[in-house]
Amino acid sequence: MALPSRSRLEENLLGVQQRIAQAALRAGRSPESVRMLAVTKYVGPETAEQLAAAGCQDLGESRPQRLWRLAENWRGPPVRWHLVGRLQRNKVARTLPWTTLIHSVDSERLLDAIESAAARLELRPQVLLEAHLSGEESKQGMSADEIGEVLRGRGRWPHIAIQGLMTMAPLEGGQEAARETFRALRRLRDALRSEETPLAELSMGMSGDFETAIEEGATIVRIGAALFEGVSSDESDESPETGL
């Protein structure tokens, strides 16, 4: 069964890569200015390894435990791991050694926890600050004001490299609401960037809205569902032994 599902996976990957390139060109940007991060939370390790074998070098997970388990048992070609979902402070120390980029830093308390673990482990983690700009309740992320404060106070976290901003579009409102949120993130970045903190990365856009995000300046799009359509996975997210 591995062969047919792999070819469907490769087709999906090519399709998404083409759409990314076309959206970039439409926006007058170079396709190389947009990185695709494959979010593997819906599939098991074999499918993730097939994705890496097909050329995906950036893989992301939304749950730290899933990231540890995948990364620790990885048998595919080398990849860079990203965490895109909530990071609890008691999971920071085990997560830092694996991750290239943490997209979802949403509080000063979390920055404090990352700072102390990074100092102890002699690491310099790269992070994005997650912004909550859509006005929806119950979404994680910091307000524009909180992000401004973090950047003004960044001397408190000398071991952390703040590389940019991340956001999620609202669940309601379609492409128009998504576009407004993405534009707001870019404007916030433009307002807050400085020589010391250029905030080069804008992580925004998922399967349903990545083309809109690219038109609004995304440098990283986080793609899950669109890659796995029609692919029969080796293991579901809800498999019994995930309960770490």
Ligand X SMILES: *Cc1c(COP(=O)(O)O)cnc(C)c1O
- CB nearer to ligand X: pick between 51 and 206: 206
Cα 70 to Cα 77: distance, rounded to the nearest angstrom: 13
Q: By CB under 6 A, name the binding residues for ligand X.
A: 39, 41, 62, 84-85, 206-208, 222-226
Q: How far is the CB of 103 from ligand X (least distance, A)?
A: 7
Cα 135 to Cα 180: distance, rounded to the nearest angstrom: 11
- CB nearer to ligand X: pick between 103 and 189: 103
CA 3 from chain centre, in angstroms, equals 28
Which residue is nearest to ligand X, using beta carbons? 224
Q: Could you tell me which residues are beta bridge partners of residue 164?
A: 128, 201
Spatial CB neighbours of 236, under 8 Å, sequence gap ≥ 6? 42, 44
Q: Could you tell me which residues are beta bridge partners of residue 202?
A: 165
Q: How far is the CB of 166 from ligand X (least distance, A)?
A: 8
- CB nearer to ligand X: pick between 189 and 222: 222
Q: How far is the CB of 223 from ligand X (least distance, A)?
A: 5
Phi (first) and psi of residue 56, to 5 degrees: -75, 120
Q: How far is the CB of 130 from ligand X (least distance, A)?
A: 9
- CB nearer to ligand X: pick between 84 and 188: 84
